[in-house]
Every structure is written in structure tokens, then in C-alpha cells.
Amino acid sequence: MENKLVYVVSDSIGETAELVVKAVASQFNGGGIEIRRTPYVETVEDIEDVIFQAKNNHSIIAYTIVIDKLKDYMDQRAADESIIAVDLLNPLMNAFIETFKKPPSKQPGLIRKLDHDYFRKVEAIEFAVKYDDARDPHGVLKADLVLIGVSRTSKTPLSMYLAHKGYKVANIPLVPEVTPPEELFKIPRFRCVGLVITPEKLNEIRKERLKSLGLMAQTNYARLERILEELDYANKMMKQIGCPIINVSNKAIEESANYIIEDLKIERRAD
């Protein structure tokens, strides 16, 4: 089936509109939707270009435009050409105006201003990259959180996700033949979280990983006996440290991160 197109148009970067479109598309199992983003729309000519493309491709336009002149032009031209153009911001913006009795700034890109939170996020991402996979164990002492677990328990993806929330995360792989860094035993146990997984799930993940690398799935890395040995070692280390443990077998990254933030209440260190 031919892909259906949605044009995402914004007077800023367009992240918000794209996320909303993806959320809706997910309700149709993806729906064969192709998203084409047009960011930083500044002129009516920019809008005309999108209108032309959308008309010729029988598409939907989803937009986040706060500049009144451009928004009005988009609405008018879409109506002229019988194109469905969905305004993703103004209905909620109008609700704010009506309820809170305060006018909006009508400035594009305010959410991305270089404020304290933005710089915290950038610093946290750089930290996660630098101290990923025990590259430098000294990061353990500087981290808001340290993730430990055997290979393929989502330590790196979870570290990066939490970094985008502003948390400085280091992660340490647990391998029976490798002594964990001594720094791991010097931090408060609540700043360390162990990630565990069922042997069957880990076996499946590792086999797929080997296949993607063009390697034999029967290597020691994916053997069930080796996996059981690693998991047993990891459990002993986690009990020794006394850290909380999350079973990630059937959890999305977002779910694990939310558990860490909301339930375990891991806090960022003071700047």
C-alpha cells in the first residue's frame, strides 16, 4: 500500500508536532504514515511550498505555528485547496487564555531557549557518553545514578534516556571474570540500581544481537549456561552492594526510567 503523508510544519524545529503525529499514527499501528517535517517556517512562501506538496500528494498538514500572520495564512490556503490542516497548539493556547486570563507571548521556539535545564541536559548526555560501559570508573563517584547489570540489560539506552531528563548516569557491566571497580562500593546504595532480566529473554536478545553482527548465535555469549552464570554473579554483586533492583524483561525504557524517578526517587546532585 502506498504510504500516506503527513506534513509537519512549524515556525520552530517541529519536534512537538512530529511527536503528536507519531502518537496518533501509533493508534493505527503506524498506518503506513510517512512524516515530512518543514521546520522554521518564516514566510508565506514557505507555507505555499508545503501547500503545493500536500495538495499533490493528498496529504494532511499538522502544524505548530504561533505567529498569527503565518497561522492565518496557513488556515486560509489550506481551506482554499481543500487540504486538512490541523492546528496542534491554538486550541490549548485558547484554553490557557480563557482560564488563566493571560495572553501568550506568540514567540516561536521558547521551549528550546538555552536555560538552566537545557544546559543540564546537555551536560548529562555528555556525562552518559563519557562514563558508558565502565570506560572511566571515576564517573561512578560523580554520578547521580549508577546502573549495573550484565550485557544487554538496556544499561546504555536507559542511561541516555535518563540523561535527557537531566540525570548524570554512569553504567557498569557485571562480568564474572572482571572485578567491579572499587568506586562502586564507595557510593550510597540508593545511588545504584541493578538491572536484571530472565535468562530466556536475555538468551533471545543476545542471539538477535549476534545475528545482526553476522556472528554465530551458538557462541558462548548467547549460551544459556553462560547466561545463567552471569546472572547468578550479577545477583550476588547486587546483594553485596544492597542496591534496588529492576527486572527489565518486559519493561520499556520509559517505564524503567519512570520507576527510577518516581518510585525510587533518585535525585540529581546539587549543582
Binding residues for ADP: 149-156
Q: State whether residue 195 is helix, strand or coil.
A: strand
| Annotation: binding site | 149-156
Distance CA(111)–CA(113), nearest Å, equals 6
| 16 closest CA partner among 106, 111, 92, 107 | 111
State the DSSP string of 177-195.
TSPPPGGGGTS-GGGEEEE
Q: Which three cell numbers stand for residue 163?
A: 540523561
Distances (CA, A) of 26 to 30, 54, 161, 210: 5, 21, 21, 29
Q: Are 132 and 156 in contact (CB under 8 A)?
A: yes
Distance CA(42)–CA(65), nearest Å, equals 10
In the DSSP assignment, the letter for residue 59 is: -
Q: Which three cell numbers stand for residue 38?
A: 518543514
β-strands 60-64, 145-149 pairing: unpaired
Distances (CA, A) of 204 to 51, 198, 227, 251: 47, 10, 11, 15
